[in-house]
């Protein structure tokens, strides 16, 4: 099968599962620039024609899991959107099913005429602890043309048993355990614009758009702040949100801004010290500086419906998209390199709505180790 035939197979599958009545008559198209080519075949992404044409998220799809089309068979397999695509592809390569995992059960399906029965019995008994009668029953079933299943203690134990039985002339493999919903359930969960607040997950196309607009907004906001405060030494850049992941807001901290806040607290009679305020994004004089740059982000998040009605999976996806936006900005060199980068901490936070361990754990995914010593110590982790 070539690419054209595989694409046609994907289109036919979409027509069968997402026909005109499924999404209120919204036409669907393959997003060709996102297509991935692999040794096993192709991965196709899809979206509504209107969203691709206009960019209006009211026409975006949620839960539109990419499709695998096998090169050798033309079979169409549905992945998912609850995990990174790489996780589904890894499971597919291992088990032949994007939702399948190799279990700890070994399945015997046959034996060669010259199979070493005595050696196979010894192997089964030694590796599983089964008695002679039970082990012989499994081997005899296999040799008689029936399948036999043998439980092992772990994946490694199952691999060892399979390897040894194969070396003794038996056909053996690890059983596949399916994890996750059926293909029909995944496709039934695909939704459009107005249903995005309660969608199981959001499409990769939409998440890529969230990532892009957040990155651009943060870049513009902090660029304006730097231009307005050219002599400040900025050490903390943060996008903060809430536990239900409202649209993120920008904040930043500088040594000069910190001194300004400490002085203000002292003047008011408060005993707040610099070490208590150093990483407080909401106490910074630059909290919400450049927030006007987030107008497009606001529109995009509002189009996703009530944040309190979104599924936990959607909230996780949105939070990860915001984190990725910050990571993209870092990879562009926006926060410097080498020692300059080590002097800066970047993070996505939920002030007052998550414990300090989660905040620090997220920071560790975004920063070089040298940048986090004081940050982690201040948050007592």
Would you state the pLDDT for residue 178? 75
Per-residue pLDDT for 247 more than 90? yes
CA dist 128 and 263 (Å) reads 71
Q: What is the pLDDT of residues 202-230, one digit of tens each?
A: 777 788 889 999 999 999 999 999 999 99
CA dist 152 and 131 (Å) reads 14
CA dist 254 and 139 (Å) reads 72
> How do the domains of the chain map onto residue ranges?
3-95+184-190, 100-178, 202-378
Per-residue pLDDT for 199 more than 70? no
CA dist 179 and 176 (Å) reads 9
Would you state the pLDDT for residue 195? 54
Would you state the pLDDT for residue 24? 66
Would you state the pLDDT for residue 64? 85
* Residue 200 pLDDT class (50, 70, 90 cuts): low
* Residue 370 pLDDT class (50, 70, 90 cuts): confident
* SS3 of residue 5 by DSSP: helix
Would you state the pLDDT for residue 381? 43
Residue 212 burial class via C-beta count within 10 angstroms: exposed 0-12, middle 13-18, buried 19 and up: middle
Q: What is the pLDDT of residues 318-357, one digit of tens each?
A: 999 999 999 999 999 999 999 999 999 999 999 988 888 8
Q: Which two tokens stand for residue 261?
A: 């806040």
Would you state the pLDDT for residue 82? 72
Per-residue pLDDT for 286 more than 90? yes
Q: What is the pLDDT of residues 89-138, one digit of tens each?
A: 988 998 889 988 888 999 999 999 999 999 999 999 999 999 999 999 99
Would you state the pLDDT for residue 205? 76
* SS3 of residue 253 by DSSP: strand
- Give the 3-state secondary structure of the chain: CCHHHHHHHHHHHHHHHCCCCCCCCCCEEECHHHCEEECCEEEECEEEHHHHHHCCHHHCEECCCCEEEECCCCCEEECCCCCCHHHHHHHHHHHCCCCEEEEEEEEEEEECCCCCHHHHHHHHHHHHCCCHHHHHHHHHHHHCCCCEEEECCCHHHHHHHHHHHHHCCEEEEEEEEECCCCHHHHHHCCEEHHHHHHCCCCCHHHHHHHHHHHHHHHHHHHHHHHHHCCCCCEEEEEEECCCCCCCCEEEEEEHHHHHHHHHHHHHCCCCCCHHHHCCCCCCCCCCCCCHHHHHHHHHHHHCCCCHHHCCHHHHHHHHHHHHHHHHHHHHCCCCCCCHHHHCCEEEEECCCCCCHHHHHHHHHHHCCHHHCHHHHHHCCC
Which carries the bigger pLDDT value, residue 325 or residue 374?
325
Mean pLDDT of 358-371: 92
CA dist 101 and 91 (Å) reads 6
Task: Phi first, then psi: give them for residue 200, nearest 5 degrees.
Answer: -60, -45
Q: CATH number of 100-178: 3.20.20.100, 3.30.1390.10, 2.10.25.10, 3.40.50.450?
A: 3.30.1390.10
Would you state the pLDDT for residue 198? 55
* Residue 188 pLDDT class (50, 70, 90 cuts): low
Q: What is the pLDDT of residues 31-65, one digit of tens each?
A: 999 999 999 999 999 998 988 888 877 788 877 88
Would you state the pLDDT for residue 41? 96
Per-residue pLDDT for 284 more than 70? yes
Nearest to 346 by CA among 358, 364, 373: 364
Which carries the bigger pLDDT value, residue 176 or residue 348?
348
Per-residue pLDDT for 303 more than 70? yes
Would you state the pLDDT for residue 263? 92
Tally Cβ neighbours within 10 Å of residue 110. 15
Per-residue pLDDT for 241 more than 50? yes
Which carries the bigger pLDDT value, residue 380 or residue 170?
170
Per-residue pLDDT for 185 more than 70? no
Per-residue pLDDT for 368 more than 90? yes
Would you state the pLDDT for residue 152? 92
């Amino acid at each position: 099968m070539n690419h054209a035939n595989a694409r046609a197979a994907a289109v036919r599958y979409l027509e069968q599962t997402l026909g005109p009545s499924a999404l209120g008559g919204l036409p669907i198209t393959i997003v060709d620039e996102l297509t991935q080519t692999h040794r096993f075949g192709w991965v196709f992404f899809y979206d509504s024609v209107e969203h691709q044409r206009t960019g209006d998220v009211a026409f975006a799809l949620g839960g539109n899991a990419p499709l695998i089309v096998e090169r050798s068979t033309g079979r169409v397999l549905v992945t998912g959107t609850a995990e990174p695509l790489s996780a589904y592809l890894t499971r597919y390569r291992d088990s032949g099913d994007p939702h399948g995992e190799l279990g700890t059960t070994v399945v015997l399906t046959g034996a060669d005429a010259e199979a070493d029965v005595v050696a196979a019995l010894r192997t089964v008994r030694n590796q599983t602890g089964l008695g002679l009668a039970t082990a012989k029953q499994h081997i005899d079933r296999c040799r008689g043309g029936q399948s036999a299943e043998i439980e092992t203690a772990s994946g490694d134990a199952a691999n060892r048993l399979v390897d040894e039985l194969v070396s003794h002339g038996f056909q053996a493999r690890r059983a596949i355990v399916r994890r996750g919903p059926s293909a029909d359930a995944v496709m039934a969960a695909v939704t459009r614009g107005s249903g995005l607040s309660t969608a199981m997950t959001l499409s990769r196309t939409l998440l890529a758009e969230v990532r892009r607009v957040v990155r651009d907004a943060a870049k513009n906001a902090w660029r304006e702040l730097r231009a307005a405060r050219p002599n400040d030494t900025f050490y903390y850049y943060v996008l903060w949100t809430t536990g239900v992941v409202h649209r993120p807001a920008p904040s930043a901290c500088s040594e000069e801004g910190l001194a300004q806040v400490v002085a203000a607290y002292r003047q008011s009679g408060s005993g707040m010290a610099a070490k208590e305020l150093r990483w407080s994004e909401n106490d910074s004089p630059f909290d919400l500086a450049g927030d006007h740059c987030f107008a497009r982000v606001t529109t995009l998040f509002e189009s996703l419906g009530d944040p309190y009605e979104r599924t936990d999976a959607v909230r996780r996806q949105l939070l990860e998209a915001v984190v990725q936006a910050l990571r993209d900005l870092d990879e562009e060199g926006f926060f410097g390199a080498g020692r300059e980068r080590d002097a800066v901490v970047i993070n996505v936070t939920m002030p007052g709505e998550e414990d300090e361990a989660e905040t620090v754990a997220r920071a560790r995914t975004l920063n070089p180790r040298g940048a986090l010593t004081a940050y982690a110590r201040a948050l007592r982790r």
